[in-house]
Structure 1
Amino acid sequence: MDHHLPLAKKGWRRNRLWIISLSGIALILAGIFVVTDMPEATVNLVRAYNDSELYEKAWAKAAVDEEVIEILGELEPVDKLAILEGEVIYHDDNTVDATIRISGNRGRGRLDITARKITGNWVYSRIGVRIKSGRHKGKTIEVDPEVFKK
């Protein structure tokens, strides 16, 4: 049994540089996470990820806009990864500004949403589509938030 002890010591000595380096990096990343507003940003993304109605209704309104169709083509459904790649800011429990990636068969863009939750339903004050590719790159299309309002 004594022959296992020297192997354990050799393993520690051989890997201590890696262990110390990775521990230091982990502490630095933890410090950055705590000092910045990353915890709040993470919570906001998780909330938006779980509230699919927020972006699905805005996407549906953009998907029927004639100018969006003309420039981006038929929009592909929003995938969950697009939410995590975007930016979401909750100003209070009921008001949100969000940006998510969208793409069509003719180009890519960003869907900018400003909305307020009233009696359990999202009411949009702004839906914008920023074009990110093609000859219209940089153009912003303001979508009527009242399109097929229920």
Structure 2
Amino acid sequence: MNNDLVYRKNWWESYWKWFIAAAVFVIGIGLFLISNMNSEGLDLVQAYSEKALYENALEKVKANQKVIAILGDLQPLDQLAILEGSTKYSTDKQRIETTVRIKGSKTNAKMDILAFKKGSNWEYEKINIRIKSKNEIIEII
């Protein structure tokens, strides 16, 4: 019998071609998705940085006694609420139409905002609270 050792290829030597093909495929899909990202996705990323827009709107909502009676104490907006919502900017990025969820101690709702930028501040044209459990809309502005 021959006692020569059997040489066994390591993983890289055996599968390097598959690895390169898979890496090229994943990178290609990633570049395709990035290049075809719709404007709503880009708007959402920009809206994520507009904390004052949401915080000021929420303060106006907290001043409404009817909303507080239905929703209870309102929690501050978390960043996930903004990412879960929908956002659409005008082409010049000076107007925004956005919807985010708000949480109260009694129930949750959606806050719809329509605003335009005046200098570095946001002026609100519309703030509505939509309460799904009661099928009701409360106009704040």
Which category of TM-score, normalised to the shorter sequence, fits these structures? 0.7 to 0.9
Letter in 2 for 1:93: K
Q: Deviations over 1:10-43 (max 9, x none)?
A: 2437xx3x77567546644643553351xx2233
What residue is the counterpart of 2:9 in the other structure?
6
Letter in 2 for 1:115: A
**Deviation of the 1:143 alpha carbon:** 0.7
Q: Deviations over 1:106-127 (max 9, x none)?
A: 1111110000111222110000
**Which ranges in structure 1 are unaligned for 5 or more consecutive residues?**
145-150
Q: Deviations over 1:85-131 (max 9, x none)?
A: 11111102211101111010011111100001112221100001111
What residue is the counterpart of 1:71 in the other structure?
70
Q: Which has the larger radius of gyration?
A: 2
Higher helix share: 1
- Could you tell me the TM-score, scaled by structure 1's length? 0.75
CA 69–19 in structure 1, closer or farther in 2 if over 3 Å, else same = farther
**Which ranges in structure 2 are unaligned for 5 or more consecutive residues?**
1-6
User: Aligned ranges for residues 93-112 of structure 1 at < 5 Å?
Assistant: 93-112=93-112
For the aligned residues, what is the CA RMSD?
2.7
What residue is the counterpart of 1:35 in the other structure?
36
**Aligned residue pair count:** 134
Alignment identity in percent? 34
- Could you tell me the TM-score, scaled by structure 2's length? 0.79
